[in-house]
Amino acid sequence: MLSVLLKPLLFTVPRRSATATAAVRGMSSSLDSGASTQRMFQLKVDPLTGKAEWVVIEEEEEEIGNQTTPKALLATTSYLDMLNDARRNRAFRQAIDKTVTGPCHVLDIGAGTGLLSMMAARAMGLSESKGSSSLNEMVTACESYLPMVKLMKKVLRANGMDGKIRIINKRSDELDIGVDIPSRADVLVSEILDSELLGEGLIPTLQHAHDKLLIEYPQTVPYRATIYGQVVECTYLWEMHDLVNREAGVSDGICLVPNGMFDLLGIKRQQYAMHCNSMKEEIKLLSEPFKVFDFDFWRRPDSSRETELHIKATNDGTVHAIISWWLLQLDCEGTVFYSTGPDWIHCPSDFKELNSSFPSSGNWCDHWKQSVWFTSSSGLHVFKDEEVRLHAVHTETSISYRFETSQDKKSVTRHDFCIRDCQIVLSPERIALYGDDCWRCLMVNAIGKALRQRVHQLCLVADDSIFLAIAVAHLSKSSHVIPLFPGLGKKGSEYLQRVAAANNYTMDRIEILKKKDLQSTLQDSNQRKISFFVAEPFYYGNDSVLPWQNLRF
């Protein structure tokens, strides 16, 4: 039994539910047939642009000794980490036990493996009853992913709750009263939260639930969520978004962001989930924590709101980022809490008995992190006791910030420049690498050494590396460069054209091709042969535990 998954709750996941290690996010392509191929949900992130998407992959079993076991890809996924989060499980269990105290209709939206549904059923006493649930006391589990629904059924069966919980394989906004569920629910139990809080569609889900699925004044678990923020100075975070000022200090002659084109290359204006505890020693706090927004689960939320915050600086420094987190109040009395705050945020003095629900108790998790919002590249200089104004806005799925300064108004005008239409967006990690003088020097030296071996090179850039394409064109006046740019496409071509003059090359030596056109183009060009092949090495996170097993080229 995989009792380690749900050990604090005395629930188990059966060993044969999609053959153990593929049990939660990875599901069997034939759960009941004993097939040897597993179908996995895996998050794939483009290492250069940072774009992420869910893909379904086939995972073959491998034979170890006399046993056949699936490769343990699930072991490093955030879903399993979430199920092993003892603080989260304990907090939800306590809140559900306080909320579900008698016969009622409980609706679990985004039920997943059925953990919260089982908690509600146990609190209601359904787990001990011999018959099936009735209309007056029932738990409805709503889950849209069919593979997860199949797994949930196995989990319920393994925990003796088969038939105690009504499972519906639909999105919650597809449910109809009288068709899918007999009546509006009295209690909502749901955990559809990401590190930013809103990114998994919390607001539209709550809006539809209050409009169509819940009674007028329902009880909810969680009861309320509060976003907190803190202004910080941190060189590491500055390096991840200020390529303009960092490139001014390099001397390799390559210019990724020429004068007047500072918006040509940058990161997406959004919050990024990061483990801020790991950079705690490099962070200088410039303010006390401040409240940004409250979200009440028990009433219909607004789609968007704005607020202006007046923040008093606690130190002299340069604002590089805003670090934010959320605090869940899970019960209406305010006795059960869960926080995603960093280690330096301690349990409030009023809640000392709840210390185990706060991260300072030593727990570590990967499924929820802190969120980081980067300020403008030039930063904002503050002095101790100075008051700054921060404008915060939330939409249905995200939160954004803007400091109200004259400097910020200038940057808004700059963003209206026509360059924005061909702006290339990269991940913060790639921006940090492109501004690293040491890394650039190593790459330029290696490219220069390779180019000296032949006078007329035909160079293939096999990925989206704009730095390598520019470096080859800049260092060799006779080489011909073919960047494939599989992700950047036309934007990559427009970018190379805009920065050509600043890097001393002409576009007649650059030929953007799609991978499928490469062979035919070379055959039609007097049988040209590629003599120089280049791409950026990178780490493709969470493919396995050991760093050297993550290296890709």
pLDDT at 514: 77
Within 10 A of 125 (CB to CB), how many other CB atoms are there?
A: 12
Residue 389 bridge partners (DSSP): 310
Tell me how far apart the alpha carbons of residues 527 and 447 are, in angstroms, rounded to a whole number. Answer: 24
Output the CA torsion 65→69→71→74 (10° steps).
-140
Each residue's pLDDT tens digit, 176-196: 999 999 999 999 999 999 999
Tell me how far apart the alpha carbons of residues 23 and 15 are, in angstroms, rounded to a whole number. Answer: 8
- Does the annotation mark 233 as catalytic? no
pLDDT at 417 over 60: no
Per annotation, catalytic residue among 60, 62, 174, 200: 200
> How many CA atoms are closer than 13 Å to the CA of 202, on its beta-carbon side?
27
Q: Is pLDDT larger for residue 496 or for residue 545?
A: 496
Output the CA torsion 483→484→490→494 (10° steps).
-10
**Is the torsion defined by CA of 212, 218, 223, 224 positive or negative?**
positive
Within 10 A of 284 (CB to CB), how many other CB atoms are there?
A: 15
Tell me how far apart the alpha carbons of residues 464 and 46 are, in angstroms, rounded to a whole number. Answer: 10
What are the tokens at 308?
Answer: 């202006």
pLDDT at 307 over 50: yes
pLDDT at 216: 95
Split at pLDDT 50, 70, 90, the class of 421 is: low
Q: Is pLDDT larger for residue 98 or for residue 348?
A: 98
* Mean model confidence pLDDT for the chain: 81
Tell me how far apart the alpha carbons of residues 403 and 322 are, in angstroms, rounded to a whole number. Answer: 11
pLDDT at 415: 45
- Does the annotation mark 306 as catalytic? no
Per annotation, catalytic residue among 59, 191, 429, 494: 191
Tell me how far apart the alpha carbons of residues 170 and 355 are, in angstroms, rounded to a whole number. Answer: 38
Tell me how far apart the alpha carbons of residues 309 and 434 are, in angstroms, rounded to a whole number. Answer: 34
Dihedral pair phi/psi, residue 5, rounded to 5°: -60, -45
Q: Please state the pTM of the whole predicted model.
A: 0.82
pLDDT at 342 over 90: yes
pLDDT at 127: 74
Lowest mean pLDDT, pick from 87-91, 200-204, 416-420: 416-420
Lowest mean pLDDT, pick from 64-68, 435-439, 513-517, 524-528: 64-68
Give the largest Cα separation in the chain, rounded. Answer: 83
Residue 165 bridge partners (DSSP): 139
Lowest mean pLDDT, pick from 90-94, 273-277, 283-287, 347-351: 347-351
Lowest mean pLDDT, pick from 158-172, 272-286, 397-411: 397-411
